[in-house]
Amino acid sequence: MKRLLTKKRSQPQLVPVQFLQQSYQLQTLPQQQILWPTKQGQIYYRLNKQHTFAPMPVTVRPWVRAYLQAFCQVVQTQIDPKQSLTLGMITDTHVKFKNSSSYYGFNGWQHVNEFLELPHFLPIDLLVHLGDVIDGSDDPYVDRQLLRQVANQFAQQKTPSLIAKGNHDDHDKYDEHTRTHRATFAADTFEQAVWLPEHSNASLHENLAHCGLSYFDQANFRVIMLNTSDLPYIIDKKGQKQYDGKLVLGLRQQQVQILTQLLQASVNKQVLILSHANLLKANGQAAVHNGKAVHDLLKAFNQGLVGQLVHQDIDPQFSLNVEFDFRENQTGRVWACLAGHRHTEAQYRLDSIQYVLLNVSALMGKKHFLTTKFNRAWHRQKDQLSEFAGYIVNLNVRQAELNIFGYGAATFWRKFKIS
């Protein structure tokens, strides 16, 4: 007989303390205690009160730094930073407050810190996290802190950065394992923790509708980040969400309207589309609500068309009615759509738009049930090159090439002709 999980909604017990002459908040959980810095600083934890506090092991490992430096030296010989756009990209770090040797854990945050070494070795125009920053299964206060800490790491970089919202970043994985299934994140938790620090960067552009769409400009290039976790936040009388963010993905009217306006203002620009989840499957079918509609909008931009985008969804929350006019666009193109989410690598071309899937950075041990075939083949192990994964993406319109260089558990070089 299976025993139901009866995890209670956590009310964090936070006590102000002084530790190593710094101010901390002490959080006591059933199996561990955590010292959260009042300001930026090292996080400490202990598994029981008999042990001493140890620092959270997320610092950059010297051997990883040396490996990334050598990787960037090779990449730099293959790109021309003056004639192209170069992005550093990581996805699906699934950070958990757990010291795991074979699956998700502290190592996800360590991967972030090591990924942020890339601009030291290679000129990068934009740093990108494609979502699922956290696994969303820890105590709600812990996961809010993890989101803030990772977002602040990105915001402190000299290189501009964008972070997508993933289907695990709304904490629904934790909620489903509680007795009441009540929502533990508010509608704006991710926005407050991640997007507000991000948009303090003057190089980025924030939409005013708070639907998660952002964009970045460099010369004649434009990078647009879509929010494929654009869901209604509807709570019933029991405090439960109507939409499970892990399972339901899509874009709604407001975001598609803003995207349309942005594309109309992108005349003759060279555009890359980024998102957590892919818009389309390889067979051309929608992978998220309105994925096909948004793809058709991008196709209309490339062809300089005028018209109206109408989609009646089974769920009226995702119905669309948007007018567009791209007749002034002569040379602008949406070249590619890049996404994570699927924990694999793939590539397919639809209507002259290149779709590319990037592999999960979080450790996926070979023996775990949820490990994908792609990652099982890597036989990923802690403290090996296969532990992590990340990418350098280079778009060179003059040579009509999209180059994607991978490190760790990723294909070293994928080259796509985009003419």
Query: Which of 97, 151, 69, 75 shows the shortest CA–CA distance to 396?
Result: 75
Question: Does residue 109 contact residue 146 with C-beta atoms inside 8 Å?
Answer: yes
42-64 pLDDT per residue, tens:
999 998 777 899 999 999 999 99
Residues 317-334, mean pLDDT to the nearest whole number: 97
CATH topology classification for 58-417? Purple Acid Phosphatase; chain A, domain 2 (3.60.21)
How many other C-beta atoms can be found within 10 angstroms of the C-beta atom of residue 389?
31
Query: Which of 299, 294, 353, 354 shows the shortest CA–CA distance to 329?
Result: 299
Average pLDDT, the chain: 93
SS3 assignment, position 320: strand
In angstroms, rounded to a whole number, what is the distance separating the alpha carbons of residues 337 and 355? 5
105-123 pLDDT per residue, tens:
999 999 999 999 999 999 9
Asked if the model's pLDDT at residue 335 lies above 90, the reply is yes
Asked if the model's pLDDT at residue 360 lies above 90, the reply is yes
Helix ranges, 27-160 (H): 62-76, 107-115, 140-155
Helix ranges, 265-372 (H): 291-303
Question: Does residue 238 contact residue 183 with C-beta atoms inside 8 Å?
Answer: no
Asked if the model's pLDDT at residue 141 lies above 80, the reply is yes
Q: For residue 180, what pLDDT is reported?
A: 94
Q: For residue 31, what pLDDT is reported?
A: 86
Q: For residue 203, what pLDDT is reported?
A: 55
Confidence of residue 3 (pLDDT cuts 50, 70, 90): very low
Amino acid identity of 68? L
Q: DSSP letter for 195, please.
A: I
* Extents of the domains making up the chain: 1-56, 58-417
In angstroms, rounded to a whole number, what is the distance separating the alpha carbons of residues 179 and 181? 6
Q: For residue 79, what pLDDT is reported?
A: 94
Distances (CA, A) of 103 to 29, 94, 177, 324: 22, 10, 19, 45
Asked if the model's pLDDT at residue 367 lies above 60, the reply is yes
Angle of helix 253-264 relative to helix 291-303, nearest 10 degrees? Answer: 10
Q: For residue 2, what pLDDT is reported?
A: 31
Question: Does residue 163 contact residue 195 with C-beta atoms inside 8 Å?
Answer: yes
181-205 pLDDT per residue, tens:
999 999 999 999 999 876 666 555 6
Asked if the model's pLDDT at residue 148 lies above 50, the reply is yes
SS3 assignment, position 336: strand
Asked if the model's pLDDT at residue 218 lies above 60, the reply is yes
Q: For residue 39, what pLDDT is reported?
A: 81
240-262 pLDDT per residue, tens:
999 999 999 999 999 999 999 99
- CA end-to-end span of the chain: 59
Partner residues linked to 205 by β-bridges: 215
Q: For residue 11, what pLDDT is reported?
A: 62
Q: For residue 1, what pLDDT is reported?
A: 30
How many other C-beta atoms can be found within 10 angstroms of the C-beta atom of residue 20?
10
Question: Does residue 393 contact residue 87 with C-beta atoms inside 8 Å?
Answer: yes
Confidence of residue 7 (pLDDT cuts 50, 70, 90): very low
Q: For residue 349, what pLDDT is reported?
A: 98
Q: For residue 199, what pLDDT is reported?
A: 66
Q: For residue 13, what pLDDT is reported?
A: 78
Residues 65-75, mean pLDDT to the nearest whole number: 98
Question: Does residue 114 contact residue 419 with C-beta atoms inside 8 Å?
Answer: no
* Antiparallel, parallel or unpaired: β 333-339 and 353-357: parallel
Stronger pLDDT, 31 or 323, i.e. the higher one = 323
Please, how many CA atoms are within 13 Å of residue 179, restricted to the half-sphere of its CB?
A: 7
pTM of the model: 0.95
